[in-house]
Amino acid sequence: MPSAPRTPCVRATSPHHRKLGAGYAALPQMAGRRFGCTCIWSTLTTEPAALRYSDHTPVPTPTGDYAPSLRSPWRAAVEEDIIAIDGKCLRRSIDKASNKAAIYMVSAWSRQNSLVLGQVKVDDKSNEITAIPKLLSRLDIAGAVITMDAMGCQKKIAKQIIQQEGDYVLSLKGNHGILHDDVETYFTSTLAPEVTVQTVDGDHGRIETRSVRVTDEIEWLKADHSWTGLTSIVAVTAKRELSGKVTEETRYFISSLSATNPKKLEHAVWAHWAIENNLHWV
């Protein structure tokens, strides 16, 4: 009597998985036709996670012409994706009894796929600036747009993103001193470009009008500020009306994206909040 086919048991044996304990994106592949199993695609590396049968026998690794077909779905999943990177203190992680500090994690959130691509714990007596490069180095970000708040707006981080064939949209705030002041001065002067994208959103009695201005005529800025890949600067003004009160706020960004597609820049700016709404507060 022929024996029943073995059922594979998925085990995260990739060194990346053991080190980070990050989540995976399950992308069924044609591997099942060849090996009688489903391949689990690691979101932290271009290599498939190792699989084992229930008796712990390793499932053969795809080789030859078949291997590229496994790599292509992950690359297709991130191209044109917006990956928001942000840090957050884990709730109730502080342990006063053991004199242990709270745990801070930096996460990469895929807007298109609605999943966590990876996480890195911030070292004690350090901050997000040192954790972000570690996280980026473990991600395949080619073709994706990386968004970060002002903490991640650093020259070394921008350079790393470009070296990994990604693009960036980074928030500017007062802690960036002269760069922020130069961008703000430009957008508040008579030289500022016209509004190219305007959207209106409303819920719970609130009406918000967002106006986007973009320019890539920034040779004057690049002459004083050396940022790898810097191509455009963005100003997003949000006007909010609630209970008869009107407030207005303008935020500034630097980007490696071209100013010829302002809608893409606007989408990247607001897609960054997905990590707040779908990860941090869930």
* C-alpha gyration radius of the chain: 22
Distance CA 59, CA 40 (A): 12
Question: Taking the domains of the chain in order of start, what are their residue ranges?
Answer: 8-78, 82-280
Distance CA 131, CA 192 (A): 36
Predicted confidence at residue 270, as pLDDT, reads 86
Predicted confidence at residue 79, as pLDDT, reads 61
Predicted confidence at residue 56, as pLDDT, reads 53
Please report where in the chains the tokens 């071209």 appear, as a residue.
Answer: 258
Give 109's pLDDT tier (boundaries 50, 70, 90): confident
Distance between terminal CA atoms of the chain? 51
Predicted confidence (pLDDT) at residue 29 exceeds the cutoff of 50: no
CB 199 within 8 A of CB 210: yes
pLDDT over 70, % of the chain: 65
> Residue 46: CB partners within 8 Å, gap ≥ 6?
71, 74, 75, 140
Tell me the residue type at 32: G
The full 3-state SS of the chain, as one line of letters, equals CCCCCCCEEECCCCHHHHHHCCCCECCCCCHHHHHCCCCCECCCCCCECCEEECCCCECCCCCCCHHHHHHHHHHHHHCCCEEEEEEEECCCCCECCCCECCCEEEEEEECCCCEEEEEEECCCCCCHHHHHHHHHHCCCCCCCEEEECHHHCCHHHHHHHHHCCCEEEEEECHHHHHHHHHHHHHHCCCCCCCCCEEEEEEECCEEEEEEEEEECCCHHHHHHCCCCCCCEEEEEEEEEEECCEEEEEEEEEEECCCCCCHHHHHHHHHHCCHHHHHHHCC
Mean pLDDT of 153-177: 93
CB 25 within 8 A of CB 115: yes
Predicted confidence (pLDDT) at residue 280 exceeds the cutoff of 80: no
Q: Maximum distance among all alpha carbons in the chain?
A: 85
47's tokens: 């290599």
Predicted confidence at residue 93, as pLDDT, reads 66
Q: Select the more confidently predicted residue: 178 or 274.
A: 178
Distance CA 248, CA 43 (A): 39
Mean pLDDT of 72-101: 68
Predicted confidence (pLDDT) at residue 130 exceeds the cutoff of 70: yes
Predicted confidence (pLDDT) at residue 47 exceeds the cutoff of 90: no
Distance CA 158, CA 144 (A): 13
Q: Select the more confidently predicted residue: 38 or 95.
A: 95
Mean pLDDT of 41-49: 39
Tell me the residue type at 200: V
Query: pTM, whole model, 2 decimals?
Result: 0.70
Mean pLDDT of 100-123: 84
Least confident interval from 7-11, 52-56, 125-129, 174-178: 7-11
Going from the C-alpha of 205 to that of each of 39, 127, 244, 273, the distances in angstroms are 47, 38, 10, 20
Distance CA 148, CA 268 (A): 10
